[in-house]
């Protein structure tokens, strides 16, 4: 299957929204309202900077089939930027058909062209398919970091009141 990958543009809001809705179900989250997903997608894509896009989309035969959500972080202790892969999601009907690999190749090529030194990512410990996929790409598992999150009440409690 031929897979085309590109950075998302404002015209891709509906495709991105559809992927976000499917992704929520896959990651065992409550279903996302389609209108809410479309509104968020339009807002995010309107705010995208050409220098730092946030969503790569994969298409096969003109249909959306995968997405990568990323952020660029400046610099780490080694003075190299990194690309943080927040989510990589491929529609179930095209898993194991090269879509994920095409997305990762696109991101790796972007990193090399832009002088970005590495791709960091996380995945759930229960997601055996993702773990096998990243192992197959040659990803190293690092146990040096603990994943933490501030959200909800904790986020409110530490926020500066303006």
How crowded is residue 161: how many other Cβ atoms within 10 Å of its Cβ?
4
Query: Does the domain at residues 4-158 carry the CATH identifier 3.40.630.30?
Result: yes
pLDDT value at 3 more than 90? yes
- Lowest mean pLDDT segment, chosen from 82-91, 120-129, 131-140, 145-154: 145-154
| pLDDT of 78 | 80
| pLDDT of 15 | 97
Would you list the domain boundaries of the chain? 4-158
**Average pLDDT for residues 152-160, to the nearest whole number?**
87
CB proximity list for 3: less than 8 A, separation 6 or greater: 58, 59, 60, 65, 66, 97, 98, 99, 102
| pLDDT of 50 | 65
């Amino acid at each position: 299957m031929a897979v085309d990958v590109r950075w998302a543009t404002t015209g891709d809001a509906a495709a991105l929204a559809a992927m976000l809705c499917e992704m929520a179900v896959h990651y065992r989250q409550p279903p996302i309202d389609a209108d809410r997903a479309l509104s968020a997608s339009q807002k995010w894509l309107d705010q995208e900077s050409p220098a730092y896009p946030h969503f790569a989309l994969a298409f096969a035969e003109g249909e959306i089939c995968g997405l990568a959500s990323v952020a660029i972080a400046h610099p780490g202790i080694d003075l190299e930027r990194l690309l943080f892969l927040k989510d990589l999601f491929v529609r179930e009907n095209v898993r194991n058909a090269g879509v994920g690999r095409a997305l990762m190749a696109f991101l790796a090529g972007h990193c090399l062209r832009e002088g970005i030194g590495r791709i960091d990512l996380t995945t759930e410990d229960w997601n055996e398919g993702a773990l096998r996929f990243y192992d197959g790409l040659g990803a190293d598992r690092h146990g040096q970091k603990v994943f933490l999150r501030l959200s909800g009440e904790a986020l409110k409690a530490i926020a500066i009141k303006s």
